[in-house]
């Protein structure tokens, strides 16, 4: 995605030079953007693949990890949050993220997609297609945050929180990293498909929200276990399939960069799945189905910023390392610190995203098979990546605090204790996932 945006930036500079010419000369010299039908078809497909990640992928993955009494509420929160994100994206999200603006946020010239027509082109694809693709990123990022808050947060609070959070957290960070003129885009930060924008952002926000929300009743004394690892396994498979749209689609074209992102997504994920099960054995446990699924997601998260910025060897190493670190974050760090990140959104997405974002600076090196130039300097890029990571952590933390307290002021934030004990399926929606 970054390469595609740099190409667009070069075209924009050319347009500035042409502006000094007479009108007739501009008309003759300016090449008319042309849609490549192959690229457009690939991006339409990629957009639907990312939607598949949300519904049913993430809904089943998260839903299976909850207790049976909260299955429907978890799926409903994810679906409704995604719908909210889609509407907000069209209203003001797209223009805040990709409209002309400053270093931190775009302008408001494209509110409700003003000025965008079927003839508008972004790179080699229709601008509407680009906007739809990016819309699904906003939708899944908000949905990921809910992994830290399920089983105790009111549905109304989720909606209020999501509205505020998207506006003050997601859209500005997306602009900073991906928009020409954005702070970290200009600095040269590498984030092919959303290590900072999606995963660090979502993971840190989930942790902050979970800390403010408080622990679930009974946690950690009572045994709280997934009610259906079968559904979680199905959701994991759908996430992996959809992630090819997420990563390879971020090339914004059906080209070699998309192919590189695809093979890296394969091998990083495979390495991470096996690494998690191996480290379980090393720690005296059996290799588990839950560990297999967790490893897959950890690998997918870690390779996201590196998908088109690494060779296959680097992707394998990155996936395996991230999986091992995420394992210890979930099994050692979380119990020691005592926070209740319900579905380990921080332990996998936050930690995995940080490793992926920092590690991208290393695997980008041509000596490791990466696409960097021969004179590429790892040290300088590490500094840039670290700055982007730290800024994302701080921005997401502050923005989440604001969003969660606004939600608490307007909705009360947390369900009543009796509703939490009964389950949010009945208490919030009047339904049961399983009527037996």
What ranges in 215-288 are assigned the alpha helix state H? 229-248, 256-282
* pLDDT, tens only, 115-125: 999 999 999 99
Q: Are 307 and 299 in contact (CB under 8 A)?
A: no
Q: Is residue 1 very low, low, confident or very high in pLDDT (cuts 50, 70, 90)?
A: low
Report which of 323, 322, 318, 324 is spatially closest to residue 306, judged by C-alpha positions.
318
Q: Are 302 and 358 in contact (CB under 8 A)?
A: no
Report which of 59, 64, 433, 58 is spatially closest to residue 227, judged by C-alpha positions.
64
CATH 1.10.3430.10 at 38-425, yes or no: yes
Handedness of CA 143, 146, 147, 152 (dihedral sign): negative
In the predicted model, is pLDDT for residue 175 greater than 90? Answer: yes
Q: Is residue 18 very low, low, confident or very high in pLDDT (cuts 50, 70, 90)?
A: very low
Q: Is residue 436 very low, low, confident or very high in pLDDT (cuts 50, 70, 90)?
A: confident
**H or E stretch covering 296:** helix 289-303
Return the pLDDT at 248: 98
In the predicted model, is pLDDT for residue 26 greater than 80? Answer: no
* pLDDT, tens only, 266-284: 999 999 999 999 999 999 9
In the predicted model, is pLDDT for residue 19 greater than 60? Answer: no
Helix (H, G, I), strand (E, B) or coil at 184: helix
Percent of the chain at pLDDT > 90 equals 92
Return the pLDDT at 2: 52
Return the pLDDT at 182: 96
Q: Is residue 33 very low, low, confident or very high in pLDDT (cuts 50, 70, 90)?
A: confident
Return the pLDDT at 14: 44
Handedness of CA 374, 375, 379, 385 (dihedral sign): negative
Q: Specify the pTM.
A: 0.92
Q: How far apart are CA 32 and CA 43, in angstroms?
A: 21
Q: How far apart are CA 370 and CA 162, in angstroms?
A: 37
* pLDDT, tens only, 192-251: 999 999 999 999 999 999 999 999 999 999 999 999 999 999 999 999 999 999 999 999
CB neighbourhood size of 405 (10 A): 14
Helix (H, G, I), strand (E, B) or coil at 125: strand
Task: For residue 333, give both structure tokens.
Answer: 């760090």
Percent of the chain at pLDDT > 70 equals 93
Q: Among 31-35, 199-203, 370-374, 410-414, where is mean pLDDT lowest?
A: 31-35
Question: The tokens 């969660």 sit on which residue?
Answer: 404
Return the pLDDT at 31: 67
Q: How far apart are CA 182 and CA 305, in angstroms?
A: 17
Q: How far apart are CA 103 and CA 97, in angstroms?
A: 11
């Amino acid at each position: 995605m970054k390469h595609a945006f740099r190409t667009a930036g070069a075209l924009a500079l050319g347009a500035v030079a042409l502006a000094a010419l007479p009108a007739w000369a501009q008309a003759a010299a300016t090449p008319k953007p042309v849609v490549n039908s192959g690229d457009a078809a690939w991006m339409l497909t990629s957009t639907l693949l990312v939607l598949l990640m949300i519904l049913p992928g993430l809904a089943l993955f998260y839903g299976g990890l909850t207790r049976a009494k909260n299955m429907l509420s978890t799926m409903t929160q994810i679906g409704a949050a995604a719908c909210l994100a889609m509407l907000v994206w069209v209203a003001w999200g797209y223009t805040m993220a990709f409209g002309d603006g400053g270093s931190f946020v775009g302008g408001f010239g494209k509110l409700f997609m003003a000025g965008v027509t079927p003839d508008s082109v972004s790179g080699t694809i229709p601008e509407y297609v680009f906007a739809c693709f990016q819309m699904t990123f906003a939708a899944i990022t908000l949905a990921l945050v809910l992994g830290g808050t399920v089983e105790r947060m009111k549905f109304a609070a989720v909606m209020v929180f999501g509205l505020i959070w998207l506006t003050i957290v997601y859209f500005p960070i997306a602009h900073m990293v991906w928009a020409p003129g954005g702070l970290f885009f200009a600095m040269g930060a590498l984030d092919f498909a959303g290590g900072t924008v999606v995963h660090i952002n979502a993971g840190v926000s989930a942790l902050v929200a979970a800390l403010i929300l408080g622990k679930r009743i009974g946690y950690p004394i009572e045994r709280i276990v997934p009610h259906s690892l079968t559904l979680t396994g199905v959701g994991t498979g759908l996430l992996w399939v959809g992630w090819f749209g997420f990563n390879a689609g971020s090339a914004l074209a059906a080209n070699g960069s998309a192919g590189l992102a695809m093979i890296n997504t394969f091998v990083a994920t495979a390495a991470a799945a096996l690494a998690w099960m191996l480290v379980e054995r090393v720690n005296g446990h059996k290799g588990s189905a839950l560990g297999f699924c967790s490893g897959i997601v950890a690998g997918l998260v870690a390779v996201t910023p590196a998908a088109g910025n690494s060779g296959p060897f680097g992707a394998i190493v990155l996936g395996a390392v991230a999986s091992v670190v995420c394992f210890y974050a979930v099994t050692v760090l979380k119990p020691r610190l005592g926070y209740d990140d319900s579905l380990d959104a921080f332990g996998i997405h936050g930690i995995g995203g940080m490793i992926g974002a920092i590690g991208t600076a290393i695997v980008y090196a041509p000596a490791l098979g990466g696409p960097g130039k021969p004179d590429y300097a790892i040290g300088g890029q590490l500094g840039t990546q670290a700055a982007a990571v730290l800024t994302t952590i701080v921005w997401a933390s502050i923005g989440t605090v604001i969003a969660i307290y606004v939600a608490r002021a307007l909705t009360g934030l947390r369900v009543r204790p009796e509703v939490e004990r009964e389950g949010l399926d009945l208490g919030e929606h009047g339904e049961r996932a399983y009527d037996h």
